[in-house]
Amino acid sequence: MKKILTIALALVVSASFSTVSAARKKKDKKDAKTEVVKAPVKLLSGNDTLSYTTGMAVTNGLISYMQSQLGVDTAYMADFIAGFEEAVKGLNDPRQKARIAGFSIADQVGGRMLSSLRQEADGPDSICDEMFFRGFTDALLGDTTVMTVNKAETLSREKIDANRQAKFAEQIAKGRAFLEENAKKEGVISLPSGLQYKVLKQGDGVVPQTTDKVKVHYEGRLIDGTVFDASSKHGTEPATFRPDQVIKGWTEALTMMPVGSKWQLFIPQELGYGERAAGQIPPCSTLIFDVELVGIDK
């Protein structure tokens, strides 16, 4: 029961007061550390006892939640209490409710949402705070002096898509330039599909079929040298999967490699993840893999 009440209170605090406490951080620490002076508590009835003890009980774990999830510095607890008590007094006041909602929405929009939008819209153009918040508030006030919300939605989608396509084109161009130079290197073999490979060790075992379960050790890198994955990160045993369960560049290579071989693969984005991001792999990335085919699990 205590845990449920604590979680419930934490969620209420998160939704209503996180921005209030963050804004209060700007105050001088000397003021923030001022003690909260209150009248002595007198538990004169069963109601008093139940109310007071329950109020204390639901705070179990709340301070650590405020620190870790809301970024509240406990040096400013007096400011948090002031904001909490101010909000409590206005729970039935429509204007106060609106202000509290404003703080809560500002925290959500100005935090993770804006960060996510910036990442999505990143490109030749970028989102700046002042104009973003102006558009946000104009829309809520029904101010269509510049444009309607529907028009804004259309233009926003077009701009974000244009930025995305520009980033894709830049990434694809880098990959193609890399592969063009790489094809000139000794030992690199280019296939009609666009896949390139270099034999580091030639095995003499069986060549897998697409539905065989292969066992491989591998390391994957971006063309700038960033290692984004390796079988060694997942334990000492080789990775096991079917060639038809992975990206096209791997499928093509694995169904050409004899067991015991180790190849270096250079995979164009269209044989990799294409326009999808995958972990540390940006969209439209050309990939490099060192792949050792250990065996086939029958």
Residue of 218, 266, 267, 288 marked catalytic: 218
Give the torsion sign (CA, 247, 250, 253, 258).
negative
Of 262, 285, 253, nearest in space to 272 by CA: 285
- Residue 52 annotated as catalytic: no
Residue of 127, 229, 281, 288 marked catalytic: 229
Residue of 160, 223, 247, 296 marked catalytic: 247
Question: Integer distance in angstroms from the first to the last C-alpha of the chain?
Answer: 53
Find out whether 114 and 133 touch, Cβ atoms under 8 Å: no
- Residue 229 annotated as catalytic: yes
- Residue 218 annotated as catalytic: yes
Distance set, CA 55 to CA 62, 85, 90, 128, 203 (Å): 12, 13, 19, 42, 71
Residue of 172, 273, 281, 288 marked catalytic: 273
- Residue 17 annotated as catalytic: no
CA distance 165 to 69: 35
E strand spans, the chain: 188-190, 196-201, 213-222, 227-230, 239-241, 262-267, 287-297
Residue of 76, 80, 197, 289 marked catalytic: 289
Sequence-separated (6 or more) residues with CB below 8 Å from residue 222:
228, 280, 281, 282, 285, 286, 287, 288
E strand spans, 135-211: 188-190, 196-201
Neighbours of 269 (CB within 10 A): 25
Residue of 105, 228, 244, 290 marked catalytic: 228
CA 175 to chain CA mean position, Å: 25
* Residues taking part in catalysis: 218, 228-229, 247, 273, 289
